[in-house]
Chain A
Amino acid sequence: MISRKFVFLFLLLLCKYLNIFSQAEDYFIIDTVKFKVQYYYQFQEDSTNKESVKILVQSLMIGNRYSEYLTENIRLMDSIRISGGGIGQNMVSYAMGSSHSFFSFDYIYKNYPQKRKYAYKVYRSKVTYIMAEDLTFNWNVDFTRDTLINGFKCTYAKCNFAGRNYNAWFAKDIPIPDGPYKFYGLPGLIVRIADTQEQHVFQLEKFTKVKYPLYIYNDSDENYKPITPKEFIQVIKANVAEKIQMARGINFNTPEDQARSIARLQGINNYIEKY
């Protein structure tokens, strides 16, 4: 815990010193956060290795009109962003979450720029990308099936999305049609959603009513390269291949360390979306 705080402060000071956040004016408030929902995202990094399970904490910031979904360590960096930031800050967040960077979701704005649309902004391989599409899910809700998850009375729904079948449980009592990642459109907040093989699992850990001023920021789309989700998978694959190439060129302490490092990178093959 101490070491994480130390890294955070160090990076903050470093950023300030290098003055890389010189584009504060590029950011603008699009909404005020009313609820903050924290999800626990558990994923299997390597589709062939059931042991390769990792966990990330992620947040859904719900405003009056829009919502923003992002990985928790990136959200922490928002405090830097408020004081001035730009594309460069993504590098910091990238460095912070380097061990999970391939699977962390940078910024997903839902109902943005209009209802039932989303904008997903990411930084990969020194390029900033934007994916903008409709929020369309073929939900099949079974109002007769319910269960209790972490104290929330939940109703069952299922859907097929980006190459996987999902089972979802949502809380009708919280009339927010939102959820983790891109998932949207159920008549209640999604409490748990997992693919049928349980390789990607999101589960609600904390639902907080925000009582202090907290805003959803966005920046201009002009700095981002438009891309489709399918193309983004190719970017990730290229990114992994690049890292493997880098690992081959680095002098490790022992050949075993190098082989282990390459094998670990080769095992990063199970991104949430598959086409």
Chain B
Amino acid sequence: MHSRILILLVALIFFNNLLFSQQKITGKFTDTNNKGIGGLTVFLKDYQSKDSIIGYDITSDNGEFAINTVEFRKNLILCSRSLTYQDSCIAIISNKHSPIKVTLKEKQIDIESVTVTRRGVERRGDTLVYLVDKFQTTKDLSIGDVLKKMPGFTVEQNGNISYQGKPISKLFINGTDLLEGQYGLATNNLPHSSVGTVQVIENYQSVKALNGIIPSDAPAVNLSLKQGIAFTGITELGGGGTPELHRINVTPMFFTKSNQFILSFQANNTGYDLSDQIKSFAMTSGVAILFEDEKESLTPITNIQTPNIDKKRYLDNNSMLFSFKGLQKLGESSDLKISVNLLSDVLEKNSSSTVNYILLDTLIRFTEHIYNKTNSKQLHVGTIWEANKERVYFKNITNFKQYWDNELGYIKPDSSSFQQRASLPSLYLNNSLNGIVRFNNKNFINISSNIKYWHSPHYSDYNPFLYNIGSITNDSSTVQQRLSKNQFISTNQLNYTHRIKRIAMGLTSGIDVDKNILSSKIIVQDNPVTSDSLRNKLNTLDLSTYFSPNFMWEKKKINISVDVSLRSRHIGINNELTHVFNTINRLTVDPVISIRYSSYLFNCSFSYKYNQSLSNPSSQLNGYIINDYRTLNNVKGAISEKRSNSLFSYINYKNHITGLFINSNFRISFFESNALDSININNNLRTVTSITKYNKGLSATGYFTSSYFISRHSITIGLSGIYNNVIRSVLLNGELTKSNVSVLNIKPSLSIMKIKNMSLEVNSKFDFQISKVGRIYSKYNSKTNSLKLSYILKKMIFCVETDLYVVKINGDKTQNTYFNFSYNYNILNNRIKLEFRCNNIFNKNSYAHYIQSDTYSISNIYMVRPREFYISLSMPLIFKASN
């Protein structure tokens, strides 16, 4: 009984408080004839902070309103707004004045008409749609030119496309993946005028059988052609002088529902790199990731570091590419793709460089003038058969590649002259198979197998070799090196995943085999050198079996995954010269845990990884091999073991309404290893070996990129930055020392699509680098500004391009400025574009740049393309289908 009374009392006190804390303001708005005004917007504001609205109402037909507030406030302001009556604001005291009566005079408020131009970016479901016509300028020809200006996209100089910091997993054209990663061919030759929208599908799961079971965080891009376009492409023909210049590009493309093909013939010596168009940038197939196969040059000539500027400024080339890509639909969900690429590339590089090798408190300097000519011929033939059904996924990729590469180089360190030649042919065969069977909505099996074979019989000669080592004499005789490598790699994996509501559990097991046969010998005056320290005959086997349970839990926006990989590794190294056979067996545990959160605008992730790894035995050597005319290389000794603890996080924000896209990530890795690079320079001969010694270090990388698109003015503003810091130990002439290299790179950019008759693109880049190795401290910064200004008339465009490069090394400053001019005239209602171009107007012949590592630095003066005049006719091919 007592408790009831107590509750009642408490309730009364509480209710009384509520009565005092809430308030209701009522009243009526009338016109001068005392008639109620309906439809007025009435605001109630706090008297103290006049901007804060605490309640509102819309008046009824007879002008009455009632506003309830959550908190009691004594002094208030009551305001009204409408289109037909004057705005009003009166101060009221809540208890005193309610109900309030306000009389308003009629007054027409003028609101200007506003037409919103379509935004450049729209969201349709989980797809972001970029309208191509919002980003294109009259000067652009291909879709690649337009992609660069779209917020969220990064198109690197080699054509690699990233979206919000992640490389894109697929590039579709009208929903079909014809290109399989080699998307440079399409982005450079598909006219933007045939593309209606660029669609970005984030978290795209390309394998239908995995939909709803395994989420994906890979973005895919679809180029949606304008309605009815079935035949498109580009044709271009151009020529010029000083020296003779030519450029031919005939690339027709054909797209229908049942088949697609791209045929391309391109040739140029104008600095346009064709090899980028046949590079595979990202290849993923469901959960199986295929290898990115780059040819290894075992005994190349002395390399010249190319400048980090626009390739077209310096690339001295004579290139030809024939490419065919075809796709035939074999049914509703399977297709066959065939790809043939034939590339011939002759490149000339010319530079004067000063290489400083850092040795504790001294620098050893080499100044050399180097001229290289490389002649590369490549044939790639590939077929892909893919079936992508709701229950079953199957994909088989077969590749054949043949390289015929030759290199010739002349080096003049002083008055003497050295010649190097290398023949670097390679054969590559690969078959990759991936199959997935989905049993129901809960479980599936995934089998993948990848087999590849490399055969590389390489040959080089040095005339003369600089130093006397072993039995090599330092007279003018030619020293030859023959190096042959046969590599067989097979990776095989079986995965079973079972999903129960929000949890997916999987088991992955596999076996990897990597077998190498390496032989090398040095021949002096036609006689092979017999010393074991100068020849190799190694047979290595790397056999790895693993078992990896994994677990994933997801709830709406949160995803947590744990993966623990147990790996047994067997390494065998058979030295056939000394008949010594070494074996290493290791059992490693590599756990990974990651947490991901994703929402409409925002997603972020955090992951931790512990990794134990052994170095690849295929990089082992018994005897030295010649790296160039003054460097010997040897990686012998124990297989290195490395342990690392890595933390990785990323934050990603995108708002298509405001046009703001932000992406940042940070990675830090603490590592320890039992192997160390030992660098020795004696009598100007540099030797690099790997020795057994415990050491530790860290590497940290931070990346930030943001872009903001202002649709009303068609402006894209971008800012990106990279920070990298590596601290590690090195052995320099036998003395252990710490190296610490920090690099900061900042890139602001501005692209104004069009203001009246002008369009403008401004890109800047600032690099700061500080390094400390032993007692040597160096500082380097560079500034790059490029500006492209176009003046656009109805049929013609005048364009000026300037690049300004400022490099400052330890206080010494060099500056390079280049100017280009172009004039474009559109003929036949924009169907044909005539371009006249003059590059490097002031005929600057070189570019000075700087490369810093922890053990050496290079100051390089690279010969760039001279002033040249060029005229071309280009025509987008666009035909609509009759139906």
Contacts and interface: CB of A to CB of B under 8 A. Distances in A.
B122 interface: yes
A58 interface: no
A250 interface: no
Contact of B52 (A42, A143, A172): A143
A40 B64 CA distance: 34
B383 to A, nearest CB: 27
Nearest to B87: A175
The B interface is mostly helix, strand or loop, or mixed, namely: loop
Given A150-B116, A187-B56, A175 B600 contact: no
Interface stretch (B37-45, B473-481, B841-849, B874-882): B37-45
Contacts of A177: 39, 41, 58
B113 interface: yes
A241 to B, nearest CB: 25
Nearest to A147: B658
A187 to B, nearest CB: 4
Contact of A151 (B81, B116, B657): B116
Given A51-B125, A209-B112, A111 B39 contact: yes
B38 A115 contact: yes
Given A42-B122, A114-B61, A175 B113 contact: no
Contacts of A199: 125
B84 A64 contact: yes
Nearest to B199: A51
Contacts of A141: 53, 56
Interface string B642-661: 00000000000000011000
Interface stretch (A19-27, A69-77, A85-93, A200-208): A200-208
A264 interface: no
B657 A187 contact: no
Given A50-B127, A51-B127, A209-B112, A149 B39 contact: no
Contacts of A274: none
Nearest to A148: B658
Contact of B123 (A52, A185, A198): A198
A207 B58 contact: no
A248 interface: no
The size bracket of the interface on A is 35 or more
A207 B658 contact: no
B555 interface: no
A176 B82 CA distance: 7
Contacts of B40: 175
Interface in A154-176: 172, 174-176
A175 B83 contact: yes
Contacts of B658: 147-148
Given A51-B127, A53-B124, A151-B712, A115 B61 contact: yes
B90 interface: no
Contact of B43 (A44, A187, A204): A187
A35 interface: yes
Interface in B184-233: none
Nearest to A35: B111
B89 to A, nearest CB: 13
B714 to A, nearest CB: 14
A34 interface: yes
Contact of A175 (B53, B81, B116, B123): B81
A185 B116 contact: no
A65 B113 contact: no
B140 interface: no
A187 B58 contact: yes
Contacts of B122: 42
A148 B660 CA distance: 12
Nearest to B332: A256
A212 to B, nearest CB: 13
Given A35-B111, A192-B657, A206 B125 contact: no
Nearest to A49: B125
A174 B111 contact: yes
Nearest to A114: B61
Interface in B310-367: none
A202 to B, nearest CB: 13
B199 to A, nearest CB: 10
A23 B60 CA distance: 34
Contact of B39 (A50, A65, A188, A206): A65
A116 interface: yes
A149 B84 CA distance: 25
A207 B114 contact: yes
Task: Identify the interface centre among B53, B112, B124, B126: most chain A CB within 10 Å of its CB.
Answer: B124
Contact of A187 (B41, B52, B60): B41
Contacts of A42: 122, 124
Contacts of A64: 84
A205 B127 CA distance: 21
B115 A206 contact: yes
Contacts of B148: none
B397 to A, nearest CB: 27
A175 B124 contact: no
Contacts of B657: 147, 149, 192
A205 B83 contact: no
A209 B109 CA distance: 11
A51 B201 CA distance: 10
A142 to B, nearest CB: 10
A209 B125 contact: no
B41 A175 contact: yes
Task: Identify the interface centre among A116, A149, A177, A209: most chain B CB within 10 Å of its CB.
Answer: A177
Contact of A53 (B82, B84, B119, B127): B127
A141 B116 CA distance: 25
Contact of B113 (A53, A111, A172, A209): A209
A150 B119 contact: yes
A177 B657 CA distance: 23
Contacts of B81: 172, 175, 187
A51 to B, nearest CB: 7
18 contacts: A51-B125, A52-B125, A53-B125, A53-B127, A64-B84, A114-B61, A150-B114, A151-B116, A151-B712, A177-B58, A187-B56, A196-B600, A198-B125, A198-B600, A204-B116, A205-B118, A206-B113, A209-B113
Interface of A: 34-35, 42, 44, 50-53, 64-65, 111, 114-116, 141, 143-144, 147-152, 172, 174-177, 185, 187-188, 192, 196, 198-199, 201, 204-209
10 tightest A-B CB contacts, nearest first: A50-B125, A175-B81, A53-B124, A150-B116, A143-B53, A187-B56, A115-B61, A187-B41, A208-B113, A207-B114
Given A185-B58, A205-B118, A208-B113, 6 more contacts: A35-B111, A149-B657, A150-B114, A175-B82, A177-B41, A187-B58
